[in-house]
Amino acid sequence: MFNITECYNTLVKLVLDNRAGIITFITTFLGSIILLKVFEKIILVRIKKLTKLTSGKLDDVIVQVIDSIRWPFYITFALFVSAKFVTFSSRIDTYINYLFLIVFIYYLTKGIQRIIDFFAKKLLANAKEDKDSLDPSAILLIKRITVGIVWGVAIIIVLQNLGYNVSALVAGLGVGGIAIAFALQNILGDFFAAFSIYFDKPFETGDYIVVGEDSGTVKKIGIKSTRIETLRGEELIISNKKLTETRIHNFKKMQKRRITFKLGLGYDTPNKKLKKAKEIIKDIIQSMDGVDLERVNFVGFGDFSLNFEIVYYLNSRDYSVYMEKQGEINFKIKERFEEEGINIPYPTQTIKLNKNE
């Protein structure tokens, strides 16, 4: 049971037996706090002014890291230094050392995280300017993994100094990790597929891709899945593993778009007008900017029409530009056909009945 009287008596005896040490302890503690505050309010302020005169940004980040250190570190540091001038019990000394270690490792890790964030932002800025650099999603993923590793190492260091058998712990985690890997093999498959996407770059954020029957613009490449915004506006989520196992059409990689469409004329259209129709289609497409005609062919006899196949190249990979151009071509073809009296038929069929049967 916790006995307040006993603790009080022990504390009084400790103070009486170490009066000189206690005075030194208090003096050192207060002195340490004052020195740290002087550093924060005077020296650090002057360092900030000097770093603003430099062109580099890393020194600003380091100053921000130092400036982010607050009273928990000041108190534990002062307590750690002051404890060296008084004889406490070994247990109290151990607790003070542990407390300072935890606070020191915490602020050190936070500082390293800030520096990692600085370099990540710098890489992201370069990625926006240089399209051939690392994909922004890859930069963010690498940043998260690096930060996770740093915190993991920090925790291991703290546990090791607290007296835990880290080797046994790591070995135990290794065995447990194998079991977890089997249980989470689908998630891990998506995780490693994300690395494949980031470094092989079959597509990047902002690319328009077609996956099977689905298509859209890549909005985010995550650790487990990729998010695509379709033409209808909804968000499509596909696992990374599936994306690496299927064929992907990346329209952003192409320099120009090849377009094929068919046009049918009525069976009552004479050969002269068929040839005229072919010339009209050629003239319309050849007269348009940003379009290169490949061919116009009368390809066959359909169920209810005489069919032409038209192939041209659009010097743009933008889908909206393609739709605009195709609509303009269609309007012009219909207008010219009406002027020439060329008929575009309805999809109808004629059925003949023999009354003698």
- Please give the structure tokens belonging to residue 330: 């269609």
Is 24 domain-assigned? yes
Is pLDDT above 60 for 180?
Answer: no
Backbone angles phi, psi at 13, to 5 degrees: -65, -40
* In a shared domain, residues 281 and 234: no
- Please give the structure tokens belonging to residue 299: 């390809």
* In a shared domain, residues 221 and 297: no
Cα–Cα distance for residue pair 246/1, rounded to 1 Å: 67
Number of domains in the chain: 3
Dump pLDDT digits (tens) for 47-69: 777 767 666 676 677 777 777 77
Dump pLDDT digits (tens) for 128-178: 666 555 567 667 777 887 888 888 888 888 888 777 776 666 665 555 555
The residue whose two tokens read 């206690």 is: 22
Is pLDDT above 80 for 179?
Answer: no
Q: What is the CA 187 to chain-centroid distance, rounded?
A: 17
* In a shared domain, residues 21 and 74: yes
User: Which pLDDT value is given to residue 27?
Assistant: 75
* In a shared domain, residues 9 and 58: yes
Cα–Cα distance for residue pair 111/73, rounded to 1 Å: 13
Dump pLDDT digits (tens) for 186-222: 666 676 777 777 777 778 888 888 888 888 888 888 7
Which CATH number characterizes residue 290's domain? 3.30.70.100
- Cβ-defined contacts of 44-52 (< 8 Å, 24+): none
Is 319 domain-assigned? yes
* In a shared domain, residues 32 and 131: yes
Dump pLDDT digits (tens) for 82-121: 777 666 667 777 777 888 888 888 888 888 888 888 888 8
- Please give the structure tokens belonging to residue 60: 């600003």
Which CATH number characterizes residue 209's domain? 2.30.30.60
pTM for the model stands at: 0.46
Cβ 133 vs Cβ 143: under 8 Å: no
Is 351 domain-assigned? no
Domain around 26: 4-163
* In a shared domain, residues 106 and 207: no
